[in-house]
Amino acid sequence: MANFEIKAKDGLARLGRFSTKHGTVKTPLLMPVVHPGKSMIPPRDLVDVFGFQMVITNSYIINSHERFREKAIAEGVHGLLEFTHPIMTDSGTFQMYFHDLPEEEIDPIAIIEFQKKIKTDIGTILDAFSRPDVGREQVEKDVDLSFERAKMSVGIKGEMMLAGTVQGGIFEDLRERSAQAMGRLDFDVFPIGGVVPMMEMYRYADIVRVTLAAKKHLPPDRPVHLFGCGHPMLFAQAALLGCDFFDSASYAKFADSGRMLLTSGTVHLKDLTELPCECPICSNTTADELRSLSQEERSLALMRHNLYVSAAEMRRVRQAIADGKLFELAAVRARSHPSLLEALQVMTENMKQLTESDPFGKSSSIFYTGPETALRPEISRFHERVIDRYPFRTTDTVIIVPDIGERPFSDTASTIIEEVRKRSPEEAILLFFTPMGVIPWECEHVHPAQQCIFPKTVDPDTLTLARKRLLDILDMISFNKIVWFERESPTNQIVNNLGIDKKITNTTSASETISKLAEVKAENVKWHLRKLKALLTYQWGGNVEDIAAIEGLQVVFSRSTGKIRHVTIEDEIIFTVVPTTGLLTPTFRGGEILLQYKIDDRFIVTMERDAAEFVADGKSALAKFVMNASSKLKAGEEVLVIDEHHQLLGTGRALLSGSEMLIFDRGVAVNVRHSKHG
41: nearest Cα among 385, 238, 305, 246: 305
Rounded CA-CA distance 315/330 in Å is 14
163: nearest Cα among 109, 232, 225: 225
Tally Cβ neighbours within 10 Å of residue 475.
10
38: nearest Cα among 16, 15, 18, 61: 61
**CB-CB contact of 607 with 625 (8 Å):** yes
Rounded CA-CA distance 366/39 in Å is 43
Would you call 323 a catalytic residue per the annotation?
A: no
The residues near 455 (Cβ < 8 Å, ≥ 6 apart) are 368
**C-alpha 294 chain-centroid distance:** 44
* Strand boundaries in 91-176, DSSP class E: 122-124, 161-163
Rounded CA-CA distance 231/309 in Å is 10
Distance set, CA 652 to CA 359, 586, 649 (Å): 14, 8, 10
Rounded CA-CA distance 276/450 in Å is 37
Mind spelling out the 3-state secondary structure of 578-646? Answer: CCCCCCEEECHHHHHHHHHCCCCHHHEEEECHHHHHHHHCCCCEEHHHEEEECCCCCCCCEEEEECCCC
Q: What is the torsional sign of CA 266, 35, 92, 30?
A: negative
Active-site residue (options: 90, 188, 247, 396): 90
Catalytic residue numbers read 90
